[in-house]
Chains A and B, each alone.
Chain A
């Protein structure tokens, strides 16, 4: 595992999106390290468990809004408490199929969210997102 490759976390209940997004990211050749979480709760558990571990903590989190159990918003609320304790800075992209302007505005106004990304996400878009932050 190359240390210069960013670690990507995909938080989404949509299995198909997980698959396609994961393949697309890997196809960019920017990284091979893609973590997949079905919901926000699983992602939070991972973050807490690896709170100081620079090698395992994700550099990018692609966060879906609409998830069962703990959705994107709830994840962000909990993340606010974790953020400063994390071993490294994390860039969070809100990823949703919703084109509802209220969702977009709300996401952009959240200090932890770097951008709002509308599904489907193309390979070019992923490269752009991953290069921008890097």
Chain B
């Protein structure tokens, strides 16, 4: 786009249009005859040639009649023959390029309606298809009413001008585009005014709007201060000389950063030779500059690399034995400049190379290209000092026979490396010492399992000299040569792949004895080569110990197999081993038991108990319940003991099924219980027997003693009255003794009559019979007798006994009733411990002091009350009857409050009740 601010813009406006001209109107020539033409005819005649020369035609348009008249050359302009135009406005309009037609029509109508002149350009298409540009200027003539009556004007062919103009526009556009795409800014500096016009891409390139840099002063300010003076000097000189300029400077962008600006241009001078315009282009070359910088740096780097290269690059003539070329490094490494080396000619070898190394100089024949030969030689520096160099040579030039005549090579100073190597040798020495100091045998084996090296330990092991062993293969050292090789190959291959391989091998010493050696192979490096490092150890004695251990284990196993019980070895419960006995005992087979948690052999309820024993290391026998595979349970006797085993502490546990023994034990306990019961029974019987003795000694001896005494008295009586008295007393004593004997007989009957018949008795029925018997007394005392036998209403018992028991107890209660209150007597039964029938008979009678009388309560002829009817037989009888039937009787009483008798009918029943 043609925009150049100030002066550029001013140029633009006028360029587009045809110049208005006030020149006299050219004569018009009408297609058809015009009425008005007569007035102007003369003037026309003068003008026409001029107009024709200028390719200008005249027209007259009668707006009202719509007739158009042309001068002759208008036809030419329109590319028409004189007759081809019919003179109508419509035809004229149709001749206009369709793209412009509308614009022309509008402009003309506008001019007519407003009565204004018009000035327009449009295209025509000639009949031959070519396009022509027309410039038309029309002036309106108004009628009396002020309306447009006519339009008259000129028509000019401006095609050429238009083409130039368009071309210029094109170039401008193209240039702008190029400038934009290249990042080049175009400027036009008007020196007198100081104004600068910039191309549109300035914004894009520098970030400024064209107006921001509209003045030269601004531009100056943006040049980097350091570059400003130099740039100005250059530009001033160019301005003075009116010469093109080409300058670089740093320029500040709107972003604040500087870019490298490449500014080129020229000055335009006025007629006096003073520069008035400065046209040029600026481009940001930062990127290019930095690339150049890199290239520069790279080349510097190359240089420094070359100079720093740790070697001399050379070309050597093999035939003449002289240096043809050497690089600069020669100065550094040898102290000779390259040309000095070249100048040495065939003196190079004798002068520079150490005489001991002459024979080592590489010889070349017809080796193929790319062959590299390495060598190590000493070369003498200019200062006389020899240095070690490593050379690497490759063929460079050959003679007609293909023989290498020149080589190119590089020599590196390896003196340091040599020194290090010698140090390495020293350390190798110390390594060797270490190697030999180790008591374990160390072997270095190559891939074929040949001994490359071995230490003193290894020699000692075999009792053989090192020299004699090196070169032997490992399998040759074996005591027997069968089957080892394959194994050794496998192991060494695995070791080479990075594994650590261990194995045992019986080896033979020089003296023929054999020993077991434990080998451990691993991959290692030996003087830079991959080798197998094998360590060996004589484990014969260890093995023997292990064998012995195994044997003892075997014995142990045999022993435990022979054992009756189950024996298990376990480590914290996990069974490591066990004997057949344990399988027999538990129903699991050996494989199932091994690895099983031994606690699974214990019934769940007992596991905590057993675990506690294991944990505490309890080493005495204890019982627990075991569980078999089939879930059945059995009584176990367990005897565990901690023992050391293979370096651990494990537990040997013996299981014994003691179910049978336990049963026997239970039987014993049961029998013991029975025996105890029997003993108790016997004791009771003994007590009863003693009681009987007492009865005999007390109750029977005394009346008999009385009789003896009385008989004595009788014999010595002096009077008959006296005799009669004694006789009566004798009779009384006799009857007392008889009564006593009868009572005793009753008791004896009870004691002997164990097999007395038992009946199913209802307590209530029996009690009713007894109440009937004592009814008179009950009524007399207004006694309240009640009962509750609901808990145990029935008993299997001798009827006579139960009646006797009830009768005596009720009689007792009535007999010892409290004088101040009516007797309340209650009978009841209950079940003690679910099986014993217990009768209780309570009263509210006199009660008795148990601490005093308890011991004689149930004894014969004992009374505790001054009661006329106390005979001391009732409770004695009851007690005997109860005890005879395996029962027990006891009493509870509080003096003055009442007494309760209890009878447990079957407490000691042993014969099945």
Contacts and interface: CB of A to CB of B under 8 A. Distances in A.
A binds B: yes
Contact of B870 (A14, A68, A99): A68
Interface string A83-115: 000000000000011111001000000000000
Given A14-B702, A68-B870, A119-B702, A100 B697 contact: yes
Given A16-B729, A20-B713, A71-B856, A97 B705 contact: yes
B862 A68 contact: yes
Nearest to A121: B709
Interface in A18-40: 19-20, 23
A120 B706 contact: yes
A19 B709 CA distance: 10
Interface in B863-885: 863-866, 870, 872
A76 interface: no
Given A66-B861, A69-B866, A16 B732 contact: yes
Given A96-B698, A100-B694, A100-B697, A20 B863 contact: no
Given A98-B698, A99-B697, A100-B697, A120 B852 contact: no
Given A97-B705, A100-B693, A20 B698 contact: no
A120 B862 contact: no
B805 interface: no
Contact of A69 (B704, B708, B865): B865
A17 B863 contact: no
Nearest to A64: B702
B699 interface: yes
Nearest to B707: A16
Nearest to A99: B697
Interface string B687-717: 0000001100111011111101110010000
A20 B706 CA distance: 8
B726 to A, nearest CB: 9
B852 A98 contact: no
A65 interface: yes
B708 to A, nearest CB: 6
A96 B861 CA distance: 15
Contacts of B870: 68
A97 B856 contact: no
Given A66-B861, A68-B864, A119-B701, A20 B710 contact: yes
Q: Which of A14, A20, A41, A103: most chain B CB closer than 10 A?
A: A20
B702 A97 contact: yes
Interface in B661-701: 693-694, 697-699, 701
A41 B702 CA distance: 21
A23 B872 contact: no
B307 interface: no
A120 B733 CA distance: 14
Given A14-B702, A20-B713, A119-B702, A98 B697 contact: yes
A107 B704 CA distance: 22
Contact of A19 (B702, B704, B729, B862): B729
A70 B863 CA distance: 9
Contacts of A68: 861-864, 870, 872
B729 A120 contact: no
Q: Which of B704, B709, B865: most chain A CB closer than 10 A?
A: B709
A54 interface: no
A73 to B, nearest CB: 8
Interface string A27-63: 0000000000000010000000000000000000000
17 contacts: A16-B703, A17-B705, A20-B706, A23-B713, A41-B866, A66-B699, A68-B861, A68-B864, A69-B865, A98-B697, A98-B698, A98-B701, A119-B701, A119-B702, A119-B705, A120-B708, A120-B709
Given A98-B694, A119-B702, 4 more contacts: A16-B733, A17-B705, A66-B698, A70-B852
